[in-house]
Structure 1
Amino acid sequence: MTSTLPALQDRLLQDGFAFVPADAMREQLDAASLPDWPAFTASWNELAPDTYLASVGRHRRRRHAVFSADARGVHREPHQPHYQSKTYNPLQGDIERWFEPVTADGASLRRILDFCHRCFGGLAPQVAHWQVEVHQFRIEARANEAGEPTPEGVHRDGVDYVLVLLVDRSNIESGTTTIHAADGRLLGSFTLTHPFDAALVDDARVFHGVTAVTPVDPSQPAHRDVLVVTFRDALRARGGA
Structure 2
Amino acid sequence: MKSAQQDSAISVLADIKKRYVHDRSVFIPGRQMKELLTFLGASPEDVEKLRTASESLKDDPTLPFRKTQNGRFCLDSGSRRVSRLESQPFVLSSEEDFVRHDSGELRRFHEIQNDLALNPALHALFALKFLLIHGMDTVHRPLLAYDSAQWICTLFNIRTTTDVSLLGEPALEGVHSDGVDHTMTTFLGCSNMTDDSATTFIHDMREKNAVRWNETSPELVVGTARHGDFLDTLLLVDHERKHSVSPVYTIDPDQPADRDMLIFFTRRPALKGHVSYPYDSMTAHRSLPMSADLPLLDLDSEREHVPVGS
Common fold: TM-score over 0.5: yes
Letter in 1 for 2:153: V
Alpha-carbon separation, structure 2, partners of 1:81 and 1:34:
34
Alpha-carbon separation, structure 2, partners of 1:52 and 1:169:
22
1:94-142 alpha-carbon deviations (Å, 9 max, x no partner): 1221100011212121111111111111425965111111000100011
1:116 and 2:164 are equivalent in the alignment: no
Alpha-carbon separation, structure 1, partners of 2:28 and 2:57:
26
Q: Which has the larger radius of gyration?
A: 2
Return the match for 2:260 from 221, 225, 229: 225
Aligned to 2:225: 190
Aligned to 1:28: 36
Aligned residues: 236
Aligned to 1:214: 249
Contact 1:160 1:231 in 2 (8 A): yes
Deviation at 1:35, TM superposition (A): 2.9
Aligned to 1:63: 69
Tell me: CA distance 1:30–1:238, structure 2 relative to 1, closer, same or farther (3 Å): farther
Return the match for 2:27 from 11, 15, 19: 19
Which residues of 2 match residues 168-183 of structure 1 at below 5 A? 168-173=189-194, 174-183=197-206
Deviation at 1:53, TM superposition (A): 2.1
Which residues of 2 match residues 131-150 of structure 1 at below 5 A? 131-150=152-171
Alpha-carbon separation, structure 2, partners of 1:37 and 1:238:
39
1:3 and 2:8 are equivalent in the alignment: no
Report 1 or 2 for greater relative contact order, CA contacts < 8 Å, sequence distance ≥ 6: 2
1:98 and 2:108 are equivalent in the alignment: yes
Alpha-carbon separation, structure 1, partners of 2:153 and 2:14:
22
Return the match for 1:89 from 81, 98, 108: 98
1:138-176 alpha-carbon deviations (Å, 9 max, x no partner): 000113532100011111001000110000011112110
Report % sequence identity.
28
1:180-224 alpha-carbon deviations (Å, 9 max, x no partner): 001220001121100011101000110011100110111223100
Contact 2:34 2:47 in 1 (8 A): no
How does the TM-score come out when normalised to structure 2? Answer: 0.71
Backbone CA RMSD of aligned residues = 1.9
Deviation at 1:19, TM superposition (A): 1.1
Alpha-carbon separation, structure 1, partners of 2:50 and 2:230:
12
Alpha-carbon separation, structure 2, partners of 1:205 and 1:128:
21
How does the TM-score come out when normalised to structure 1? Answer: 0.91
Aligned to 2:52: 42
